[in-house]
Amino acid sequence: MKDSHARPSMYVTFFHNYRWGVQIRGDERGLFEKAKRFRGRGIDLFVLEKQPSFQADIGEKVYTSLKLSSARIPPRSLKELTRLVIDSFLAVLKKRAPLHPIAVYAYNQDIENVFVGYLLKFFIGSRLVVVHHQISPQFVTPFWKSFFDRRSQGSRLQSSFFRSILPAINRYALRHADLHIAISKAAKQDAVDYLGVTECAVVGNGLDTKKFRPMDLPKIYDAAFFGRLAPQKGIDILLKAWRSVVDESKDAKLILIGGGEKKDLQEYRKMIQSLHLEQNTILTGFKEDEEVIKLLNSSKLYVFPSRKEGFAQTVSQAMACGTCCVLSDIPALKENYGAGAVFVPANNIEILAITILDLLKDDQKREEYSKHARDCVMGFHWEDVVQREISAILEQQYH
């Protein structure tokens, strides 16, 4: 490996199962946007990822990709985790990346990113930075708690033992990170509650308000959802609430924008059929940004009844389009969008349906919230997020 490099650099562990054109999370979009700003500030990113490179799917090179030919993400066993570590180190050696980056940057709190980053920091003599989006407690459970919980639920001894190892390894690596960064106060609270983290920098998230913008288009749809179609997002709650909306307004149209796992999409299609919503619900699949912007501008409401979020970039994008937003009252959404949205209790089908119907009947109130929505997110800038991250990383480096 090279012992020096003309510009400051960071290694990034960026393992995930999402692809542009199929489905993505805020994690993937966020790293891509940040990489452009890091590069603009003179910091090169060397990104460990699966083939194909995420930037290749988008068609814009913003980092140096250290691609692994094959990797099981997430790893399901110690054998798969060991293989991922070995392949990652081989990718670093093969690319002859810089030996002394300013940090190893794990771009979320999952084991495939954190543990590889944890070992890599010793190999190259750097510090481990973990960016927290949201923590699922089952992936960071202490070994003995996980083991006895599984045994009490009827799992076999051997199964309980081996299935408790990976969460324990992830927890250990996370607790030994040198710097914790969170995209919201809610994400920071996860790190405090589940890991006992005492210091964590909150950096926020960014938004391209020139791209995501209001457009003067006819309101074809009564409501839109934009994001991954997944159980976490409360799609089941939305569909059941939409049944009540249609009972009162038979021509009401809901559009669901975004990709999802095959099994989840099949489940939602079955639900749509069982609720007799085939004429009132449209599933678009993944759409490019410009098409998403048009669809959001063509909807009277944006509805996002998610159960758990770290920030929810799709909400800020909908707000930037000036769409009246109905959101579940979970901590991250209230923290970031409290001044610009209508909130309903999470998992409450009845109140969600009543709220949607009330807003559809009140053009003036929708217009007021549309104005509040864009105002609420105009301060979200990727440049500011990257500056806060660089400041935190450099402060830790010289601490």
Q: List the pLDDT tens digit at each of the 399 positions of the chain.
A: 444 456 899 999 999 999 999 999 999 999 999 999 999 999 999 999 998 999 999 999 999 999 998 788 999 999 999 999 999 999 998 877 676 899 999 999 999 999 999 999 998 889 999 999 999 999 999 999 999 999 999 999 999 999 999 999 999 999 999 999 999 999 999 999 999 999 999 999 999 999 999 999 999 999 999 999 999 999 999 999 999 999 999 999 999 999 999 999 999 999 999 999 999 999 999 999 999 999 999 999 999 999 999 999 999 999 999 999 999 999 999 999 998 999 999 999 999 999 999 999 999 999 999 999 999 999 999 999 999 999 999 887 655
pLDDT score at 2: 45
Cβ atoms of 181 and 392 within 8 Å: the answer is: yes
Q: All domains of the chain, ordered by start, with CATH?
A: 9-206+381-397 (3.40.50.2000), 221-377 (3.40.50.2000)
Query: Rounded to whole angstroms, how far apart are CA atoms 179 and 195?
Result: 13
Number of Cβ within a 10 Å radius of residue 334:
15
Q: What is the DSSP letter of 53?
A: P
Reduced to 3 states (helix: H, G, I; strand: E, B; else coil), residue 204 is coil
Cβ atoms of 15 and 111 within 8 Å: the answer is: no
Number of Cβ within a 10 Å radius of residue 187:
27
Q: Which helix (H) or strand (E) holds 254?
A: strand 254-257
pLDDT score at 4: 45
59: left (phi over 0), alpha (psi -120 to 50) or beta: left
